[in-house]
Amino acid sequence: MDRREHLKLLLAGGVGAGLFLATGCSEEDRRQSEEILRDTGYGYGRADYEEEHDRKLFSETFFTETEFEMVKVLADIIIPADEESGSATDAGVPDFIEFMMKDYPPFQLVTRGGLMWLNNQCNSRFGKTFLGCNEAERLEMIELIAWPDRAEPDMQYGVRFFNRMRDLVATGFFTSRMGVDYLGYQGNRPGFWNGVPEEVLAKHGFEYDQKTQDESIKEEDRYRIAEWDDDMNPI
Amino acid sequence: MSFEMIVPKEKYDVAIVGSGAGGGMAAKILSEAGLSVAVLEAGGFYDPAQEEYRTQLRWPWESPRRGANTVRPFGDFDAAWGGWEIDGEPYLRKNGTSFDWFRSRMLGGRTNHWGRISLRFGPKDFKRKSIDGLGEDWPIGYEDVKPYYDRVDKLVGVFGTNEGLEDDPDGYFLPPPKPRLHELYLKHAAESVGVPVIPSRLSVLTRRVNEERGACFYCNQCNRACNVYADFSSGTCLVQPAMKRGNVDLFTNAMVREVLTDSDGLAAGVVYINTKDLQEHRIQARVVVLGASACETARLLLNSKSVAHPNGLANGSGVVGRYLHDSTGSDRMAILPALFNRERYNEDGVGGMHVYTPWWLDNNKMDFPRGYHLEYWGGMGMPLYGTGSGMESLRQHIRDEFGNSSPNGGFGIGLKKDIRTMYGSTVGISGRGECIARYDNYCEIDPNVVDKFGIPVLRFNYTWSEHELKQAQHMHDTFEEILTAMGGILVGEKPGADQEYGLHAPGRIIHEVGTTRMGNDPATSALNKYSQAHECKNLFVVDAGSFVSQADKNPTWTIMALSWRTSDFIVEQMRQGNL
Ligand SMILES: Cc1cc2nc3c(=O)[nH]c(=O)nc-3n(C[C@H](O)[C@H](O)[C@H](O)COP(=O)(O)OP(=O)(O)OC[C@H]3O[C@@H](n4cnc5c(N)ncnc54)[C@H](O)[C@@H]3O)c2cc1C
Ligand code: SF4
């Protein structure tokens, strides 16, 4: 599709978007159309006051450069690359975390303080900041705060901080395109729900009983305008 | 599209305040009967079919907050402009009690993102006082409303099945979708402990009902409002079609602050403030219909004082704002190990549960008077903000092939894999029950505070009684019984008396009703059985203010049926020259 076709479909209104996504367009089409949406300033269905709010947040920077570097390192410790997918930073997670700091201000103090606490610990232990440490030293430190059930009482500040970082990194990763693909989510596309696939049903020891099969919607009926018999049953 | 430039007619037959479920239905029925109608809507124009409003089919990463609820209370893609708090439009609480009030300011009101659970009240629901002596009976019965439920079913569309249940009546249903996998687990578990499970009843078009609306394409996003109008919203299915056929002028950004009355005390029209330029305007009408939602309608009436109505309009009885009640609600979640590492397939389905449980027990045998229904959730939904979190306490539930459990927390490839293992394995149950309407639960005008439009605001007083607490306690026993029978690992502790058995704060279930209740006695009700004000014959209420009791059902199908019935009555009365 060329740009004009994209726009025509996207701006058609009515069933435009649904149809567009129903045509089984390619990955490349999808990417292009998203770019076009961005260029045309459509956002993602924002009201004016929301667009303004987001613009304001994007114009501000919360993390210092050093803090942001620390966030990147932590992100890839929490979600590293493996043979199936890239890492948290590959998926753009640090930018998401930067945004969330401004979007949810209660994150700010605890995150900034947590990063400093981490530096303080590294300074006491290794005489260097977290970023100054080598990989082995960093992991030695993280081991002390990553396992809530076995962490020492005086590590609780770090445990809480790391729990929050784990949540933010994981959620940032699994809601990125890379993470969604890694997770294997198959939806968000127009289709027909005809029940759980046979083989999955069988594996879990279920089947649809006759009543369910009879009363449920059949694909060939979906566009037929509904009518009912005298007993209120659809025909 | 802009509808703000209309020049108002000198006088309309009907002025309708609010374009939600109640106001939208009245606009459609009254305009189709040939009456000229002005609809005044405090919020802006909204249409999910237009690209600029569309949030449906968007991916999580299109939102910089990945769908988090920092801006919109039910998530960044949810089709609600408004929320629990609205800038410049406060409300207060009294006596240390709580009430949370959800408002949407937009064409269609809260029907853009509502849950689409569409339940008829049953015969007993209109006559509860006769059964257990509590609350009040409605002045009408199921037989009065049934013809309108039938019409709403056919016009709006709802899937479900005819089960012949006395108090969950049959209807003109579309075929339901088959249960998802976790719903099969829940159904089998529930049935094994004696809790019946049947197909749910949602106003989603599994089949088309007319040429103007498409069929569902199963994206599980009804709360984002449907691009092809396959789910019900008042704006897309009632107001816009009515406008196309003519006779309806829609005024958006029109905040009504008062109902005008003439020297005889009859309604003469409304005054509204244009929320964009803050100018005041008047709309004259022969009949005024209020559908601003139960609490807003009470507020409007109480703020419409005049010589003829010193206590507020239609409030000689003092009941306006009283008998406010919301559904009870509590929930429980579990992890189902049988769903770890489950096969992937598109499990979106419709935007809501495919099965549910209507109230199945006999209150004569219980220590609480009214019932609740069960809603089920779970499945491989779209990953949104929150996905992958909580591993500091949930990860221990994952076991390797030798039965060793994973340690809580952690990091690295193992963590990444465990999150994937767990995806789609949480399930939950919500109980939604009937609260008994009480005089002492109310909203009233605060004597000190006005909103940014200069309009006095509401303050609430609401407590749960022992009846609701006992009911919630029973809900939790049921949750545990089902989730345990399913083989689920319960998450969190069972809430006890100190936590009010996990009852959500009043208002949180967003089924608030009863503030201008109907009745035969003008001393104890604001409206007659046609939702006509006892004290002002050309004033009507078409939102849930008219409800006498809430039932263990969600209210919207009844709001629409009653609004249609009231609209028919208005047309009839006008024809007879009574209005
Ligand atoms: C998340 C959520 C899920 C829900 N799920 C379900 C469900 O599954 N089933 C169910 O039955 N119900 C459900 N509900 C409840 C349902 O949305 C309401 O019962 C229904 O929308 C009420 O209709 P209404 O017309 O009374 O009010 P609303 O839909 O709230 O519409 C009122 C309209 O009036 C406008 N208005 C208010 N004040 C003024 C004024 N002064 N001047 C002009 N306009 C004004 C508002 O802006 C609004 O547009 C849900 C609600 C929410 C929020
Ligand atoms: S689930 Fe169906 S009705 Fe709901 S928004 Fe998606 S396509 Fe529309």
Count of domains observed in chain A: 2
pLDDT at B484 over 60: yes
CB contact under 8 Å between A166 and B54, yes or no, is no
Span B332-357, mean pLDDT? 98
Distances (CA, A) of A85 to A80, A91, A166, A202, B391: 9, 9, 18, 31, 20
Span B467-482, mean pLDDT? 98
How sure is the predictor about B400, in pLDDT bands with cuts at 50, 70 and 90? confident
Residue A35 is given by DSSP the state H
Whether residues A177 and A230 share a domain: the answer is no
Q: Contact at 8 Å (CB) between B269 and B283?
A: yes
Span B413-440, mean pLDDT? 98
Helix axes A48-59, A93-103, angle to 10 degrees: 110
> Which one, of B359, B300, B318, B267, lies nearest residue B552 by Cα?
B359
Q: Which residues of B344-383 are buried (b: 16+ CB within 10 A; e: fewer)?
A: bebbbbbbbbbbbbbbbeebeeeebbbbbbbbbbbbbbbb
pLDDT at A11 over 50: no
Whether residues A209 and A174 share a domain: the answer is no
Whether residues A135 and A29 share a domain: the answer is yes
Cα end-to-end distance, chain B, whole Å = 34
ipTM of the complex: 0.94
State which of A160, A183, A206 marks the end of a domain.
A183
What separation in Å is there between the alpha carbon of B222 and the centre of ligand 2? 5
Q: pLDDT for B513-542, tens place per residue?
A: 999 999 999 999 999 999 999 999 999 999
What separation in Å is there between the alpha carbon of B155 and the centre of ligand 1? 19
How sure is the predictor about A22, in pLDDT bands with cuts at 50, 70 and 90? very low
Query: What's the rounded Cα separation, in Å, for the pair A16 and A36?
Result: 15
Q: pLDDT for A126-140, tens place per residue?
A: 999 999 999 999 999
- Determine the pLDDT at residue A43: 81
Span B73-92, mean pLDDT? 97
Q: pLDDT for B131-168, tens place per residue?
A: 999 999 999 999 999 999 999 999 999 999 999 999 99
Whether residues A155 and A51 share a domain: the answer is yes
Whether residues A78 and A98 share a domain: the answer is yes
Whether residues A30 and A128 share a domain: the answer is yes
On whether residue A16 sits in a domain, the answer given is yes
CB contact under 8 Å between B217 and A212, yes or no, is no
Whether residues A66 and A175 share a domain: the answer is yes
Ligand index nearest the alpha carbon of residue A189: 2
> Which one, of A72, A67, A68, A73, lies nearest residue A138 by Cα?
A73
CB contact under 8 Å between B386 and A77, yes or no, is no
State which of A183, A203, A224 marks the end of a domain.
A183
Of the partner residues A15, A199, A203, the one whose CB lies closest to the CB of residue B228:
A15
Please indicate whether residue B43 or residue A9 has the higher confidence score (pLDDT): B43
Span B395-407, mean pLDDT? 93
On whether residue A169 sits in a domain, the answer given is yes
- Determine the pLDDT at residue A5: 55
pLDDT at B505 over 60: yes
On whether residue A189 sits in a domain, the answer given is no
Distance of CA B440 to the CA centre of its chain: 23
Whether residues A55 and A84 share a domain: the answer is yes
On whether residue A188 sits in a domain, the answer given is no
- Within 13 Å and on the Cβ side, how many CA atoms surround B207? 25
- Determine the pLDDT at residue A24: 47
Whether residues A171 and A210 share a domain: the answer is no
Q: Mutate which of A188, A189, A218, A227 to disrupt the B interface (most B C-beta within 10 Å)?
A: A188
On whether residue A216 sits in a domain, the answer given is yes
Identify which of B114, B301, B450 to mutate to test ligand 1's pocket (most ligand atoms within 8 A of the CB): B114
On whether residue A23 sits in a domain, the answer given is yes
- Determine the pLDDT at residue A1: 52
Query: What's the rounded Cα separation, in Å, for the pair B536 and B539?
Result: 6
Identify which of B25, B111, B290, B293 to mutate to test ligand 1's pocket (most ligand atoms within 8 A of the CB): B293
Give the Cα-Cα-Cα angle B212, B216, B222 (nearest 5 degrees).
100
Span B5-30, mean pLDDT? 95
pLDDT at A14 over 50: no
Q: Give percent of chain B with pLDDT exceeding 70.
A: 99
Whether residues A175 and A219 share a domain: the answer is no
The SS3 call for residue B44 is strand
Whether residues A120 and A200 share a domain: the answer is no
- Determine the pLDDT at residue A2: 54
- Within 13 Å and on the Cβ side, how many CA atoms surround B99? 27
Whether residues A136 and A234 share a domain: the answer is no
- Determine the structural domain holding residue A135 and report its residue range: 3-183
On whether residue A101 sits in a domain, the answer given is yes
pLDDT at B449 over 70: yes
CB contact under 8 Å between B71 and A50, yes or no, is yes
What separation in Å is there between the alpha carbon of B119 and the centre of ligand 1? 16
How sure is the predictor about B5, in pLDDT bands with cuts at 50, 70 and 90? low
On whether residue A108 sits in a domain, the answer given is yes
The SS3 call for residue B340 is coil
CB atoms under 10 Å from CB of A15, counted, come to: 16
CB contact under 8 Å between A13 and B44, yes or no, is no
